[in-house]
A and B are shown apart, each in its own frame.
Chain A
Amino acid sequence: MSFEWPWQYNFPPFFTLQPNVDTRQKQLAAWCSLALSYCRHHKLYTLDVMEAQESPMFNNKKIERKLSMEAIQVVFEELRKKGNLEWLDKNKSRCLVMWRRPEEWGKLIYQWVSKTGMVNSVFTLYELSNGDETEEFHGLEDWMLLRSLQALQTEGKAELFTMDDGKGVKFF
């Protein structure tokens, strides 16, 4: 299934940061949703800003438009404010993209656990991310999985513990 681009992607002004405040807000909202859905479609968890600029996400070769570095930073900052992005370095060249926030992931995992009747059982993190291939959290990166489980832990729905060869989790 190929990624479905929003209509704005073929609208040249989309690639210019709009000076009008109202217009810009709408534009940024469109960019945020595009960036998140693109990452989700391609299962991207970390982004390099330079690479991202060259990727189809920010570079529409068909209409020969490319989002400028400044504009990308603005979009990413917007995402950070919404809690969907975290910078990995001070230079803001690499970032973590959370197209689902940890709480949302946690919720998904817990739903699966209760659906399959595995409450009160113990899992290794590897089992979770490489188990059921039909589930969305299949192939979830370790750091993301850890965060979502931590989110569940604060809700009191799971307990994390350290095992010999890594981390384990028990759902309640």
Chain B
Amino acid sequence: MDRFSWSNGLLEINETLVIQQRGVRLYDGDDKAKMDLGVALLSTHRLIWRDIKNHECCIAMPLSQIIYFEEQAAGIGKSAKIVIHLHQVPANKEPGPYQYSKTDMALFCCFSLQFYRRLTEEMTKKRWENTPVSQPIPTGTGSQAGKTRAVGIVGIERKIEEKRKETDKNISEAFEDLSKLMVKVRKLSFLSIDICAKEMVELSRSIANKIKDKQGDITEDETIRFKAYLLSMGIANPVTRETHGSGTHYHMQLAKQLGDMLQAPLEERGGMMALTEVYCLVNRARGMELLSPEDLVNACKMFESLKLPLRLRVFDSGVMVVQLQSHSEEEMIASALDNVSEKGSLTAEEFAKLLGLSVLLSKERLLLAEKMGHLCRDDSVEGLRFYPNLF
């Protein structure tokens, strides 16, 4: 059993998988080994055994280690086994789970006939000899010849060959490391988001202090940048389909989160935001876990049933907005009328500038006021203007 060494379970470059079988048990001689149920993989070069529960527990043994093997038929209370007779432990063997062995035998239990046949095939073909893997598999025969000094062209060729092998080795090692690296990177990225958020908070604080120091003497550009920073901090743990399943439950959770995050921007914008604007804001805050427009609409439709202080409102023109529940329509119409009366007449664009709203929303307000009979329109080549309704 001590012929096994730890493995990452990955195949080498020239190595190919021949067959694999589940539910294989390992025996050290007659004793059941520590390794219980697992998957046995037969490659052109190695026998690999991987624990079925713990995938990181994986051991391998080069085929060249095998002297011969035989089938042990099933008996009463015994399942069919393959008995493998092995060479002596090679000197340069990598560490394995077993430090000693009772016998020079390992047993694979519960194998299928096919596994046995393929093993026979591989043992006769001896493909590991024809196409050596980049990483020389330690063999028990001790056939590693000492380096022969060579000169001339042969020497150069040999050097080139050695160099090639070296690079091959490096590459395969790199690939092995890549999967580990990926895991690490993933962990790191979570960490960095955390760090990022902390940095952002500090940054925003310092900016806030600066604003205090300057006593409101900040340019519009700076304000915008400050807002952008705040937005970029985003949502710490966005509700996703992965975390909250699909369908109604997902939309409900999403609606709750939207309710929390939209409150402040809505108040800032006079209680109403176009759905497209909300969509951009939300997805910006979410960063990676982007929402689909459909999910957003569905979540917004839940506001009312969840008794959240937000409402999805569809204007007659089909424009959808999210507004605060406290946002009163009468007030909105009255303010529109006031503004128009003050200026004599207003276009949607002028009104938008006056209120700092989007043109779309300001137009909706004007139209609403018109619908209520407080305004009337002048539709000319110069565009649509609204006047106080003097009729």
Residues of A within 8 A of B (CB): 7-8, 11-13, 15-16, 18-20, 22-23, 26-27, 30, 64-65
- Find chain A residues with CB under 8 A from B387 CB: 11-13
- Find chain A residues with CB under 8 A from B373 CB: 20, 22-23
Which one of B1-9, B15-23, B203-211, B377-385 is at the A interface? B377-385
- Find chain B residues with CB under 8 A from A64 CB: 380
**CA A15 – CA B379 in complex, angstroms?**
8
- Find chain A residues with CB under 8 A from B322 CB: none
- Find chain B residues with CB under 8 A from A22 CB: 373
| Closest chain B CB from A78 CB (angstroms) | 15
* Inter-chain contact B390/A15, CB cutoff 8 Å: no
* Inter-chain contact B370/A12, CB cutoff 8 Å: no
Chain B, residues 351-391, CB within 8 Å of chain A (1/0): the string is 00000000000000000001101001111100001010111
| 16 new A-B contacts at CB < 8 Å, known A7-B390, A18-B377, A27-B376 | A12-B345, A12-B385, A13-B377, A13-B378, A13-B385, A13-B387, A16-B376, A16-B377, A16-B378, A18-B376, A20-B370, A20-B371, A23-B370, A23-B376, A23-B391, A65-B378
* Inter-chain contact B391/A30, CB cutoff 8 Å: yes
- Find chain B residues with CB under 8 A from A27 CB: 376, 391
Q: Which one of A8, A18, A23, A65 contacts B380 once the chains associate, using CB atoms below 8 Å?
A: A65
| Closest chain B CB from A49 CB (angstroms) | 20
**CA A76 – CA B146 in complex, angstroms?**
114
Residues of B within 8 A of A (CB): 345, 370-371, 373, 376-380, 385, 387, 389-391
What's the count of A-B pairs with C-beta under 8 Å?
46
**CA A35 – CA B92 in complex, angstroms?**
112
A64 to chain B: closest residue by CB:
B380
| Closest chain A CB from B290 CB (angstroms) | 39
| Closest chain B CB from A12 CB (angstroms) | 4
**CA A23 – CA B379 in complex, angstroms?**
15
| Closest chain B CB from A71 CB (angstroms) | 10
| Closest chain A CB from B348 CB (angstroms) | 15
**CA A15 – CA B380 in complex, angstroms?**
9
* Inter-chain contact A16/B380, CB cutoff 8 Å: yes
- Find chain A residues with CB under 8 A from B370 CB: 19-20, 23
* Inter-chain contact B380/A11, CB cutoff 8 Å: no
**CA A13 – CA B373 in complex, angstroms?**
13
**CA A84 – CA B385 in complex, angstroms?**
33
* Inter-chain contact A19/B377, CB cutoff 8 Å: yes
| Closest chain B CB from A24 CB (angstroms) | 9
* Inter-chain contact A20/B376, CB cutoff 8 Å: yes
B387 to chain A: closest residue by CB:
A13
Q: Which one of B371, B379, B389, B390 contacts A16 once the chains associate, using CB atoms below 8 Å?
A: B379
- Find chain A residues with CB under 8 A from B378 CB: 12-13, 15-16, 65
- Most B CB contacts (10 A, CB to CB) among A12, A30, A65 go to A12
